[in-house]
Structure 1
Amino acid sequence: MRPETRPFGKDAEARPVGDPDRAAELRARVEALNARFRHHGATAVLRAVLTERVAGDIAMVSSFGAESVALLHLVAMVDRATPVLFLDTAMLFPETLVYQQDVAEKLGLRDVRVLRADAAEIARQDPYGALHLRDPDACCALRKTVPLEDALAGFDGWITGRKRYQSQGRATLDFFEYEEATGRIKVNPLVHWAPGDVRTYMDENRLPRHPLVAQGYPSIGCRPCTDKVADGEDPRAGRWRGQNKDECGIHFVNGRATRGAS
């Protein structure tokens, strides 16, 4: 579980995550960082985050999905020792597991941490692997949200691949945001990128594609909850198809899970 106190940066004085003065300081820091980098790009943001440590101790969270390799490559060009957190839900496509290893090796990532749910909790809550059928939100919480929160307990912030174009709820995202629920700073280096930018970057740098993209999976999650997408459909139409759900719960704004890519 997340400790009740956690310092911002190695030299900061530990204070409760919910401390109002600490929250005010972090909100002010985020505002100042967004002002500083308003006219900069992803590489400048990552250099400041990973070398100047403007957001404290930071990790990257990656699904190693359809577009993940672009941001992973950018991070690797700045600091290959950046901790990269990868959630293995035990329900991923085999292709994703192979792709994760291939990409990590190709990019020379030195600190990929594979996260898994607690075995005892899996046995207690989902002994037959069918929780996703009756309560997909609970399945995501068990296999994604809780393990990720545990892994992030030692960090002041994390890097995400979220972009403004992905959903209406992300249309006003900035490079930096303060996550009220956890007291962390989230960094979104690709926030201003368009779909074509990702493809162009991958082409220009000859980055490996996730093999399932060519098979009709433009957005890739867990095997039981991901379908192929037909031409003309929204790229995320295959995620939790037919259910009133389009997010996995790892992104929070004002204490609420936000909709969008996981």
Structure 2
Amino acid sequence: MLALNDTPTGRTPEAEDLEAKRARVATLNARYRHHSATAVLTGALKDPEAGRIAMVSSFGAESVALLHLVAMVDRKTPVLFIDTRLLFAETLAYQQEVAERLHLTDLRIIRADEAMLKQHDPYGALKLSDQDRCCDLRKTQPLEQALEGFDGWITGRKRYQSKTRAEMDFFELEEATGRIKVNPLAHWGPDDVRAYMEENRLPKHPLVAQGYPSIGCAPCTSKVAPGEDPRAGRWRGQDKVECGIHFGADGKPVRSTS
């Protein structure tokens, strides 16, 4: 006799659902493996296998390329922008400029709950004492809430950016959340992004010309010297390479190379 939480296969409904999602991701990767970024995006936004998808954008140094691609496919795509309240003023101004230029019709500004900030970071000093907790409070938790109701989300991550991203596919399953993550630009390099922006005359983030090739929150982003890795200015001096909104194979947020 089956227990209430069992299925005829002997697995729980949650395990069977996760297995079905793994199969969906495998199907999507097989279907779009040799396709362009535009085709991958079109599939993500219109293929029933993908489900309901939002885009998450930092409006950083390279974000405008993917935002432009999304706008060309469907400018009604929900675009989630996390305002940590610690961003550069230039990023906030750039976000408004790009959204207006691309006619994004469903831009959603995501912020941490004021009560949570007052409870866990009343003096705004968490960024100095515990950067992981600061990221969790101001980025990871608000994004998780904003993504409720979506089956997946589009990211601008690329393989060349870090060791933690070196082997990612166009479609990934976040087993911790059950959502599909779409990486249309996974195979693009810096020259591809640069060429696309120039060909389409897209505006550049003003901080790039000042020596910031990768841009996050102001307290945790510094200029990068010639010859340094483009992400060397993110959390400089710390064993930290990600903010924690992406999950690793172990189901835990990715924050460091270890």
* TM-score of the two chains, using structure 2 as the length reference: 0.92
Alignment: residue pair count: 244
1:147 and 2:142 matched: yes
CA RMSD of aligned residues (A): 1.3
Rg (Cα) greater in structure: 2
Q: Which amino acid aligns with 2:34?
A: H
Tell me what 1:124 maps to. Answer: 119
Tell me, in whole angstroms, the C-alpha distance in 1 between the residues paired with 2:99 and 2:177.
Answer: 28
Q: Any conservation in 2 of the 1:115–1:147 contact (CA below 8 Å)? A: yes
Q: Any conservation in 2 of the 1:18–1:183 contact (CA below 8 Å)? A: no
Tell me what 1:13 maps to. Answer: none
Tell me what 2:7 maps to. Answer: none
- CA shift digits 1:7-44 (9 cap, x unpaired): xxxxxxxxxx9801110011001111111111111111
- CA shift digits 1:115-151 (9 cap, x unpaired): 0000001011111111010000000000000000000
Tell me, in whole angstroms, the C-alpha distance in 2 between the residues paired with 1:18 and 1:68.
Answer: 38
Query: 1:171, CA displacement in angstroms?
Result: 1.7
Q: Percent identity?
A: 71
Tell me, in whole angstroms, the C-alpha distance in 2 between the residues paired with 1:249 and 1:242.
Answer: 17
- Counterparts of 1:1-262 in structure 2, within 5 Å, are 19-254=14-249, 255-259=251-255
Q: Which amino acid aligns with 1:137?
A: D
Query: 1:172, CA displacement in angstroms?
Result: 1.3
SS at match of 2:147: helix
Q: Any conservation in 2 of the 1:58–1:159 contact (CA below 8 Å)? A: yes
SS at match of 1:92: coil
Moved over 3 A (4+): none
Q: Any conservation in 1 of the 2:132–2:255 contact (CA below 8 Å)? A: no
Structure 2 residues not aligned, in runs of 5+: 1-11
Tell me, in whole angstroms, the C-alpha distance in 1 between the residues paired with 2:177 and 2:13.
Answer: 8
Tell me, in whole angstroms, the C-alpha distance in 2 between the residues paired with 1:186 and 1:207.
Answer: 25
Q: Which amino acid aligns with 2:164?
A: G
SS at match of 1:21: helix
SS at match of 1:208: coil
Tell me, in whole angstroms, the C-alpha distance in 2 between the residues paired with 1:239 and 1:71.
Answer: 21
Query: 1:52, CA displacement in angstroms?
Result: 2.8
Tell me, in whole angstroms, the C-alpha distance in 1 between the residues paired with 2:131 and 2:32.
Answer: 38
Structure 1 residues not aligned, in runs of 5+: 1-16
Q: Any conservation in 2 of the 1:169–1:259 contact (CA below 8 Å)? A: no
Tell me what 1:5 maps to. Answer: none
SS at match of 2:80: strand
Query: 1:253, CA displacement in angstroms?
Result: 2.1
Change (3 A) 1:147 1:70: same
Query: 1:214, CA displacement in angstroms?
Result: 0.2
Q: Any conservation in 2 of the 1:43–1:189 contact (CA below 8 Å)? A: yes
Tell me, in whole angstroms, the C-alpha distance in 2 between the residues paired with 1:54 and 1:66.
Answer: 31
Q: Which amino acid aligns with 1:66?
A: A
Tell me, in whole angstroms, the C-alpha distance in 1 between the residues paired with 2:49 and 2:24.
Answer: 9
